[in-house]
Amino acid sequence: MPELPEVETVRRGLQPVMEGAKIVKAEARRKDLRFPFQKDFVARLTGQTVTGLGRRAKYLLADLGSGDVLLMHLGMSGSFRVQKAGEDEAPGRFHHARGKDAAHDHVVFHMSSGADIVFNDPRRFGYMKVIARNALDDEPLLRGLGPEPLGNEFDAALLARSCAGKKTSLKAALLDQRVVAGLGNIYVCEALFRAHLSPRRLAATLATKAGQRKGVAGGEPTDHARRLVEAIHAVLNAAIKAGGSSLRDHRQTSGELGYFQHAFKVYDREGEPCPTPGCGGVVRRFTQNGRSTFWCPKCQK
């Protein structure tokens, strides 16, 4: 489910109840999520103060007083909710009028702030791991990640360079977290639409001819690359402002829905008229690398 805007929304919801508070008690209610929990997972969290809550790509990172970092990933269906300590934790199958099945409340942090933070994940593609902060650079889950799309170093030149020599489609390249870290299927479709670029275009065409050979440092970006970076910035910032997109699972930690799904131009809009003024095309869908791509074949070239 969650792409960068949803994870950032979750981070902003958790920050006020986690930062500066102590994890009085941690519960892992099953032995695994996507991966088995570490044997010392609960022990390394218990009694620790959370000194900061950050985000890298689609990961949340909670800094602990011990020098450890708690790494959290929401997978496809993970969500956090914040509730008052002892409140109505899981009385029935469905609670909080949120359609969340309590059977999938897998991890709970009881905070000294008086908040219980509950991680719910029906599909269990999410995971959590505690690692030493001084080993972050060696962490396999983080090591290959490319630049933050909203970070200073991510610009047209860098994008063009990392697409240089890529034989794959532009769509697949943008989904590759080594190229840029944090985009997923929705925001790739939306960014390509806003940039009027075809998802089928060869990724290497973002660099000029001179720069298309892989690894050429001076590969000049094309106007296409500039347009695409602008579109990525715009769509991510707008989505964060809207609290993310709620299709099925994503909720803000308060339980509120995000509402950026209403602003989708093409995602999940197969058959609708293209929203580009004067285009007159129709939004189409097809499958690329096993994922649905939504686009307007008339104005995305």
Active-site annotation, residues: 2-3, 58, 291
Q: Is the CB of residue 162 less than 8 Å from the CB of residue 154? A: no
Nearer Cβ to DNA, position 78 or 110? 78
CB 158 to DNA: min, Å: 16
Helix axes 223-241, 156-163, angle to 10 degrees: 110
Nearer Cβ to DNA, position 109 or 264? 264
Residue 134's CB is within 10 A of a number of other CB atoms, namely 10
Nearer Cβ to DNA, position 30 or 133? 30
Sign of the alpha-carbon torsion through 26, 36, 69, 158? negative
Q: Which residues bind DNA (CB under 7 A)?
A: 1-3, 6, 34, 57-58, 73, 75-77, 99, 101, 103-104, 122-125, 141, 166-169, 172, 176-177, 184-186, 203, 214, 244-250, 258, 289-292
CB 20 to DNA: min, Å: 27
Polymer length of the chain: 301
Nearest residue to 45 (alpha-carbon basis) of 103, 102, 117: 117
CB 239 to DNA: min, Å: 10
CB 17 to DNA: min, Å: 20
Q: How far apart are CA 235 and CA 266, in angstroms?
A: 12
Nearer Cβ to DNA, position 58 or 224? 58
Burial readout 61-95 (b: 16 or more C-beta within 10 A, e: otherwise): bbbbeeebbbbbbbbebbbbbbbeeeeeebeeeeb
DSSP result, 30-43: SSBSSSBPPTTHHH
